Amino acid sequence: MRTPEGKPRFFPGFSPILLLAGIFFFNFLSRIILSPLLLTVERDLSLSHFQASRFFLITAVGYSLAMLFSGFVSLLLTHRRIVLISVFLPCAALLGIGLGASVTVIRVGLFVLGLGAGLYAPSGLAMLTTLAEEKSWGRATALHELGPNLGLICAPLLAGLLLPVVSWQAIMVLLAAVWFCCGLLFVIRGRGGDFHGRAPSLSTMGRLLGQRTFWVFLIIFGLGAAAELGVYSLIPTYLAVERGLSEAMVHRLVGISRLANLGVIFVAGWLADRCGARRLLLVLLPGIGAATALLALPRGGALLAAVFVQPVLVAAFFPVSLAVLYRIIPPRLLNVAVSLIMPVSYLFGGGVVPAWLGWFAEQGNLAAGLTGLGVLIAASVLLLPWLRTTAAAAARKEVLYED
C-alpha cells in the first residue's frame, strides 16, 4: 500500500508482512481451535478433562520438535519453501483429524499438525526482518502478531457460530480448506525468504546457552506463553464448568475479550521502538500475574474484568519481548535463536501448563491452578535485574538483551 507520491503508506514491506501475518493467523488458529471445542470433543469421545487437555501437549511436542530441528531443515530448503511446508502439511493433518474415527488417529493428526506448524516461526521471523527495515521492526512485529491475536478472537466465535449447525470434525475440515487457499495466495503473491538459514552449530548454541540472560529471557518468555496459551486452552472449560456460564456465552465472552488486543499490540510495538523494553516488562509481568490470579475469583464484576484485562496485557507482552530478539540477532542467526527459545516456551506454555491445569480441572479446582500460575508470572519480575548487560557484551552480540 503506497501514498500518491509512491512512498509506502505504513512502512516498507507492509504488504508481504501482512500476508505472512495471514499465514501465522491460520497456523495459530489450527493449534488453538481445539480450546473452544474441548467440551464438545470430550462428550463426543467420552474423555475426561485431563485426557482431553493432553491433546494440547501432543500438539506442543510435535511443534517443539519441529522448531528444534528447523535450523537443519533451513540448510536444505529456503525459508520460503519451509513456510509453504508449514502451510500444506498442517492442512493435511487437519483433514485427517476431521475425518478420523478414533482417538489414536486424532492424536497422530495433532502431532503432525504440530510438526508442520512448528516449522513456520523460525523461517517466518527470519523473513520478516529482511522484509522490513530495522527501524520498523517493532511495527512489523506488531503487524505479524496480528495473526495469532486474530486467531484468539476467531476461534471461540467460530466455534459458537458453527457448532450449532456442524460437527467439530467439519470445522477442522473447513479450516484446512481455507488455510489451503491462503497458502496458494502466498505461492502467487508472497515474496522474500529466498535464502537459507544456519543450523544451530555447537559454537552458536554454546554462546547462547552460556549466557545467563538467555536463560532469564527463556523463563520469562515461557511464562508469557503459559499466560496466553495455557490459560486460553482451559478458560472456556473453566468458565462453563466451574463458573456455570453457558457454552454459547463463554464462546462470545472469550472471543470479545480479545478484541482490544488488536490495538494493544500496535501500541506495544510503537512503545518498543521508542522505549526500553525492560521498563515495559517491569509493568507487564506483575500485571499479567495479577490478572491471571484474579481469574480464580467467583462470578462477578472482578472475574469479568480479569477475563478482559488478562489477554490485553498478554498481547502487549509479545511484541515487546520479540522486538528485543530482532535488535540483537542477525537475520541469518535469528532462526537459530528462535528455534531454541520458541520450542521450549511453547512446550511449557502450550503443552505442559494446559495439561497441568487440566489436572486441576479434573479435581474441580482449576481456580487453584490459575492462582498458582499467576503468582509465578508476577514473581518473574524479580528476574529482570539479571537482564542487565554491559555495552561491551552487547556490542559483541554475546547477549540476548540490550536495554
The pLDDT value recorded for residue 208 is: 72
For 295-331, give one letter per residue: b (16+ CB within 10 A) or e. Answer: bbbeeeeebeebbebbbbbbbbbbbbbbbbbbbbbeb
pLDDT(389) > 50 = no
Per-residue model confidence as pLDDT tens digits over 225-275: 999 999 998 898 888 888 888 888 898 888 898 888 778 877 887 787 777
Report the half-sphere exposure of 174 (CA within 13 A, side-chain side). Answer: 12
Residues 6 or more apart in contact with residue 126 via CB below 8 angstroms: 74, 79, 193, 197, 331, 332, 334, 335, 338
* Residue 359: Cβ within 10 Å count: 16
pTM, whole model, 2 decimals? 0.81
pLDDT tens profile 69-88: 887 888 888 989 999 999 99
Torsions phi, psi of 371, nearest 5?
A: -65, -45
Give me the pLDDT at residue 241, please.
86
- Which pLDDT belongs to residue 398? 46
**Sign of the Cα pseudo-torsion (278, 374, 149, 122, in order):** positive
Q: pLDDT digit string (tens) for 6-58?
A: 444 555 667 788 888 899 999 999 999 999 999 899 889 888 888 888 999 99
Residue whose C-alpha cell is 453457558? 246
Segment 118-143, tens digit of pLDDT: 999 888 888 887 887 766 776 787 78
d(CA 89, CA 256): 31
Task: Please state the rounded mean pLDDT for residues 334-361.
Answer: 85
Distance separating alpha carbons of residues 340 and 348, to the nearest angstrom: 13
CATH class of 14-395: mainly alpha
Among residues of the chain, what percentage have pLDDT more than 90? 37
Average pLDDT over residues 306-335: 77
pLDDT in tens, 142-180: 788 788 888 888 999 999 999 999 999 999 999 999 999
Q: Is a pLDDT exceeding 90 seen at residue 310? A: yes
What single letter denotes the amino acid at residue 360? F
Q: What is the reported pLDDT for 158? A: 92
